Amino acid sequence: MKIIKTENYDHMSRIAANYIAAQITLKPDSVLGLATGSSPIGIYKELIRRYQAKDLDFSNVTSINLDEYRGLSPENEQSYRYFMDTNLFSHINIQKNRTFIPNGLEPDPQKACADYDQILEDCGGIDLQLLGLGNNGHIGFNEPADYYEKGTHCVNLTQSTIDANSRFFDSMDQVPRQAYTMGIQSIMKARKILLIISGGKKAEIVKEAFFGPITPKVPASVLQLHNDVTIVADSDALSLLS
Ligand code: F6R
């Protein structure tokens, strides 16, 4: 596990964008696993800037997102499909039909999850998976639990995640209680993992996840077992590491 310390959020975003840009440059038909949330927004801005400067070409890239809220339509501004379209896909030349996100409107969780696992298989696996870290140690929406879920599954979000996500909604009642998320095995199968972490609020969980025991109670701790993980984090997020 390689840890790269950056000065602040913007610096983290530029360094992490370097990794994604290198991946696309070296393998133009890369399959990228992508994430939503506050952490990757700066990276997406940087990738758009590089696309506009003609330094990056997304025309052969496939993207597979980690997760989607159950019950939200693509038009809902809080859906992850909407997030990805507005923060990245609509500004670059990726083929829209090569961008995959779990179908939040599929009412049958078994079908939604099986369909997504099939997409992952059809794409031949993920070359580079971008991850953020939840305040409770979640990756995707794999919440702290007694065991790891392997494939895509429907998850009941924990109160900590509902509280953290409420900042994007007008009221607490509107925050979805369930999501479809890629499982731990699918994430661990990615050939490379790029984890981005910013801010002092994450310092405690960073220490626990990457320097503590490997346990499904801290889902990200499983990344200690992956052989190609790069963490790009700002100095605040790393402040509790010696
Ligand atoms: C988002 C996702 C989540 C976030 C995590 C951190 O697709 O899967 O695991 O990466 O909740 O969120 P932020 O970046 O908002 O702190």
**Is 136 a known active-site residue?**
yes
Evaluated on CA atoms 39, 22, 224, 116, the torsion sign reads positive
Domain count, the chain: 1
242 falls within a domain: no
| pLDDT band at residue 131 under the 50/70/90 scheme | very high
50 falls within a domain: yes
Ligand 1 atom closest to Cα of 196?
Answer: 14
Ligand 1 centroid–CA 161 distance in Å is 9
90 falls within a domain: yes
Domain housing 218: 2-234
Single out the residue of 137, 132, 128 nearest to residue 195, CA to CA: 132
Question: In CATH, what number is assigned to the domain containing residue 140?
Answer: 3.40.50.1360
Reported as a single tens digit per residue, the pLDDT across 60-84 is: 999 999 999 999 999 999 999 999 9
Pocket test for ligand 1, best of 43, 126, 133 (most atoms within 8 A of CB): 133
What's the chain's length in residues? 242
Single out the residue of 195, 200, 198, 205 nearest to residue 231, CA to CA: 195
Q: Which residue has the least CA distance to atom 10 on ligand 1?
A: 132
| pLDDT band at residue 97 under the 50/70/90 scheme | very high
Beta-ladder partners of 42 = none
Reported as a single tens digit per residue, the pLDDT across 161-209 is: 999 989 989 999 999 999 999 999 999 999 999 999 999 999 999 999 9
> Which whole number is the average pLDDT over 15-22?
98
Round to whole Å and give the CA distance between 175 and 65: 20
> Which whole number is the average pLDDT over 83-108?
98
Ligand 1 centroid–CA 50 distance in Å is 24
Are the CB atoms for 66 and 143 separated by under 8 Å?
A: no
At residue 242, the pLDDT reads 81
Are the CB atoms for 45 and 12 separated by under 8 Å?
A: no
| List 46, 68, 143, 208, catalytic entry | 143
Instruction: Write down the mean pLDDT value for the chain.
Output: 97
Reported as a single tens digit per residue, the pLDDT across 206-242 is: 999 999 999 999 999 999 999 999 999 999 999 999 8
Q: Which residue has the least CA distance to atom 11 on ligand 1?
A: 134
| List 46, 87, 103, 138, catalytic entry | 138
25 falls within a domain: yes
Query: What does DSSP assign to residue 142?
Result: B
Q: How many CB atoms lie within 10 A of CB 7?
A: 11
Are the CB atoms for 67 and 165 separated by under 8 Å?
A: no
Which pair of structure tokens corresponds to residue 228?
């190609």
Reported as a single tens digit per residue, the pLDDT across 48-57 is: 999 999 999 9
32 falls within a domain: yes
At residue 44, the pLDDT reads 98
At residue 79, the pLDDT reads 96
**Is 77 a known active-site residue?**
no
**Is 106 a known active-site residue?**
no
143 falls within a domain: yes
Ligand 1 atom closest to Cα of 35?
Answer: 7
Ligand 1 centroid–CA 146 distance in Å is 21
239 falls within a domain: no
Pocket test for ligand 1, best of 41, 141, 193 (most atoms within 8 A of CB): 141
At residue 217, the pLDDT reads 98
194 falls within a domain: yes
**Is 67 a known active-site residue?**
yes
